[in-house]
């Protein structure tokens, strides 16, 4: 099992201020859709948010009980790296499945396959590399990467890709998922109103 982590601490500037985590996808807020998928394989679920009140109301009104822990950034508004750091402090499982709150199609099957690879290869992380593009979110990380994230944050080095330069990680490329008959659609994210509209128009 794993700790599922949703990073929901962004300012949503590119979405014109709308909370990406609350965008409806197939009549369900995106965050709820993600938590439901995560609950299939995660003992613990963490949402990193500095303003959790709106999300807590959403969960309170949900008919299916979901055990969610709310965590705030320790290094506030320093991007996904600070979210990973905060989550690592609270994680109880060895591995964390970390996603952004703007990813509508996260896949527990893909995450579990990556976790197995991470464990067998004894590396710090397994990261999807789809069509030669690195997707550090929807990655599997050892919770021990939190200490490396803290080193970078203290140096005011906030790039998430910078973390990958300092840890031992393996890519999970297209062929890895194709062999398992898994679509790579899970790396899709929606950052802008146009991307959100396109995603809704192409739901299958």
Instruction: State pLDDT tens for residues 102-140.
Output: 999 999 999 999 999 999 999 999 999 999 999 999 999
Kind and range of the H or E element at 152? helix 145-154
pLDDT category of residue 202 using cuts at 50, 70 and 90 = confident
Give the pair of three-digit tokens for residue 111.
Answer: 């995450």
Q: What is the pLDDT of residue 143?
A: 97
- To which residue do tokens 């998922």 refer? 177
Does the structure show a pLDDT above 60 at 183?
Answer: yes
Q: Which residues contact 114 (CB under 8 A, 6 or more apart)?
A: 97, 126, 128, 139, 140, 172
| Stronger pLDDT, 47 or 13, i.e. the higher one | 47
**Calpha distance 103→75 (Å, rounded):** 23
Q: What is the pLDDT of residue 5?
A: 98
Measuring CA to CA, which residue among 81, 189, 73, 51 is closest to residue 145? 81
Which residues on neighbouring strands pair with residue 6, listed in sequence order?
47, 99
Q: What is the pLDDT of residue 23?
A: 86
pLDDT category of residue 34 using cuts at 50, 70 and 90 = very high
Does the structure show a pLDDT above 80 at 25?
Answer: yes
Does the structure show a pLDDT above 60 at 14?
Answer: no
Which residues on neighbouring strands pair with residue 20, listed in sequence order?
none
Q: Lowest-pLDDT range, 6-15, 18-27, 104-113, 191-200? A: 6-15
CB 9 within 8 A of CB 50: yes
Phi/psi at 141 (5° precision): -130, 145
Q: What is the pLDDT of residue 198?
A: 87
| Stronger pLDDT, 88 or 190, i.e. the higher one | 88
Does the structure show a pLDDT above 60 at 75?
Answer: yes
């Amino acid at each position: 099992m794993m700790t599922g982590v949703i990073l929901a601490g962004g300012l949503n500037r590119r979405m014109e201020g709308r909370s990406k985590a609350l965008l409806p996808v197939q009549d369900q807020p995106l965050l709820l859709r993600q938590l439901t998928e995560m609950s299939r394989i995660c003992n613990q679920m963490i949402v990193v948010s500095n303003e959790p009140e709106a999300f807590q109301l959403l969960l309170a009104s949900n008919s299916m009980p979901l055990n969610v822990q709310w965590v705030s950034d320790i290094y506030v508004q320093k991007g996904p790296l600070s979210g990973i750091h905060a989550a690592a402090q609270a994680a109880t499982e060895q591995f964390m499945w970390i996603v952004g709150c703007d990813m509508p199609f996260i896949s527990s099957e893909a995450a579990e396959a990556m976790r197995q690879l991470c464990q067998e290869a004894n590396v710090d992380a397994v990261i999807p590399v789809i069509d030669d593009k690195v997707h550090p979110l929807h990655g599997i990380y050892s919770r021990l990467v939190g200490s490396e994230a803290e080193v970078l944050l203290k140096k005011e080095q906030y790039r998430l890709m910078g973390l990958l330069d300092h840890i031992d990680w393996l890519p999970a490329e297209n062929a890895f998922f194709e062999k398992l008959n898994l679509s790579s659609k899970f790396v899709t994210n929606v950052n802008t109103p146009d991307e959100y509209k396109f995603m809704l128009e192409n739901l299958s």
